[in-house]
Chains A and B, each alone.
Chain A
């Protein structure tokens, strides 16, 4: 449930009924009218024949998470009612397709405001096209909760304008039909209403996946190769449209192994390079991630996590690839794992992922997740001129120190990297253990020196990438540590818990591997109990922190394919105190 000036609307029904596009439009319209929005979607793993849901949270303030529950439920069919009915509480608003739709009975649920809107019937009988059902629903919703009709019309116009005036007209008519049905037949009793805000110039609405693509472009990524996979494909979709504009290259490879191989070859050649996939792809990439570690080639791998293991729950949400990301690859492999908390982070942490990869010449995994990838959010328009870009330490042919040593044992552990074309910089990049020159070398001394080098270079990463946020509280005994998209939820939970009188602190690391030890130790030294909520079975971050520090965290895991609600974490905080 949302607070004041905060409204959560859900639309649910059969996949393919236009729920996603209706949701997108009302979200866009709300932003046009000056509101903040954050959306949340669930799809079936099948193309047709399953339950799909689109939730929009509206507010006048920055929104941090999906929120807890919902205020308004708009049901396109009986299944949507069944799935969501159990979550109705006192004061929930139910809008449902009746009569003439899939829902056979009139609803009269105690404590719930039930508004019947015959969406299917209006669409089919009055408008002559069943496909306009979603627009009828939008009209009803905007009328009921004062979402600006002008903004909605403007959104429709910019979306369908290209398809012709008649298409726009049909949609307008459907909107009006929905609006009029409310005006004429419904006696609004519920208290929900979103006042329009002050329209803002510098706001964009973008999804998490698109934001990763945008971040890559901002970081000057010029080579991208991937293989389609849910829920990561939209990163490729975005870049396929835009990377050629920068004379960059996009390859749809034959599989994930080939895509990472492409990326490693391109990065060896000097291009900032990236791939994007989900868990199954990351599993397949293990050998080559280790090769990138060994070759010390910078690469960025976005992993939009889904429910696992195996094919699992392709369209659901989980934070369960951390073990694989941090501890995967045979042998001792040094690499970095970064995880964004929200859509804005998807932009800026993608830039950071490139910076870290280039700075340390390592593979960097960027762990997003299905909810975040599909989420759209209103965020401040990024300013490209303010983006800080780090370049790899390049070999300088003029350095003139005799034979070039690709894997020179330097103090920092990072060795200048040449690129083909540079005279004197010739070397063979290799996955075999090698001497400084890059020639194969299997002596014990050399292997020790090179393993040390590859780990040592990351010793100071926490200072280079200090993206760990402290939210301290005097007198608190419990400190919450969250990662990835659970951070937003935890932020709200902490607010709620504090508002309800609990003392609680929080730490939000964006660097999850190597774990930011200094921050973790500083934080844990102040709070007796460390609570780590995360969405996986094993408590993966909690276990990694337990093994890397002296912290003995209390692990709080859920793993049903859905995000936490702030309420859940707030309750847990109280329980732990």
Chain B
């Protein structure tokens, strides 16, 4: 298990780093909209309004749209999984690192695969 983990480490770190960098950069706008502007009613959700199904679907199903969504979904998962692993290590779980880490990364992998399916399916 540990050997496998060691082999994967560079890839994981790359995804984790991009989760922080790209993930954070993309998430901020999204969170502003759904967390602030939408509840305040500043952006509309009605049939012809900004977040309407038709408009968002059109935007999302472009190649760029699909890529952005993929990044927006998958990268934070890796950031999350990796940081949670480190929380375990920092709180004394270093001896059980390998199973914990692999489970967390399995979750992130599953989420990422689902994200791929989700954007293809659009």
- Chain A complexes with chain B: no
* Chain B interface residues toward A at CB < 8 A: none
